[in-house]
Structure formats: structure tokens, C-alpha cells
Structure 1
Amino acid sequence: MSLRPSEETHTQLVARIPQATGRPMAEWFQALEDGPSLLRQEERVDWLRTEHDLSHAYAQAIVHEHVKQKASRSFS
């Protein structure tokens, strides 16, 4: 079972990602879309960690935010 940070913690992580990684969120989202077709979120987190040498927290925040934004686009 994966524990998720609070929404406040998630928002803070997402805000720090561009500075901490040197890449804006849009580039991370593109990397996820261009990467392998992994269905499970934890697989996508592991791929980001391995392929891009990210911490688990940042990788998880990127994947979670990507899922949230894709979901909000599908309802718009």
C-alpha cells in the first residue's frame, strides 16, 4: 500500500520540482507521455526514479499531478 502525502504537501512538492530538478512540470509530463506505456502509477513512479534519477517524493508528485491534470482535462 502506498501512502499519499496530504494535498498541501503535494502542492508544496509540485511547486519545488522545477527548481529542484531544473525542468518545468510540462517537460516532466511530456517525459511521462513519451515514456513507456506503464499503466500503474507506482510503475510510472519507479520509471521516473530510475530513468531520471529523481527522489521517490518528486517522482510520485509528478505522476500524481499528471494524473490529476489529465482527469480535469477529460471533464472539461
Structure 2
Amino acid sequence: MSLNHSEQTHRNLLARLPEVTGRALTDWFHEVEAGPALVRFDERVNWLRAEYNLSHGFATAIIHEHDIRRANRAFA
């Protein structure tokens, strides 16, 4: 999981996501899971950016948070 910004910036991006995109984080998770089976972090970020016209920061925050939550489910 590659994150190029601080944890605080990550949290700020996630907090602003619904207001900026009009969609909740869980909606974005559904899009990621329904999207193409890309393995690499940067491929998934680039796909989100191209498919939904998201900024790099928001796409990165979505994929990073999705990976964290998916990893937590694997160990639960």
C-alpha cells in the first residue's frame, strides 16, 4: 500500500470525499470491487482517476482505505 501523503491528509481527504464527490466512501468501495481486477496500487488509482474523473489525492485515499479495510477483514 503506497501512500504519498501524511496520515492526517489522508483522513482529511476521506472526510471531504462525500462533499466533493457526492458519494460516500462505501459507494466508492463498491465501485472499486466491481471494477477491473487490477492488482497494483497505482493501476487501481489510475483507473479510478480515469473512470470517475477524480483527483489523484482522492483516488489514492479511496484505494488506500479500501486496502486497509480489506486487510483487516482478512485477519478478522
Q: TM-score, normalised by structure 2?
A: 0.93
Per the alignment, residue 9 of structure 1 pairs with 9
Q: What are the superposed Cα offsets for residues 26-71 of structure 1, whole Å, 9 maximum, x if unpaired? A: 1100000000000001000000000000000000000000000111
* Superposition deviation, residue 3 in structure 1: 5.8
Give identity over the alignment, percent.
Answer: 52
Q: How many residues are matched? A: 75
- In 1, the alpha carbon distance for the partners of 2:68 and 2:11 equals 12
Query: Higher relative CO (CA 8 A, sep ≥ 6), structure 1 or 2?
Result: 2
> Structure 2: 5+ residue runs without aligned partners?
none
Q: Cα RMSD between the aligned structures?
A: 1.1
Alignment correspondent of 2:34: 34
Structure 1-normalised TM-score?
0.93
Change (3 A) 1:33 1:16: same
Listed as ranges, the gaps of 5+ residues in structure 1 are none
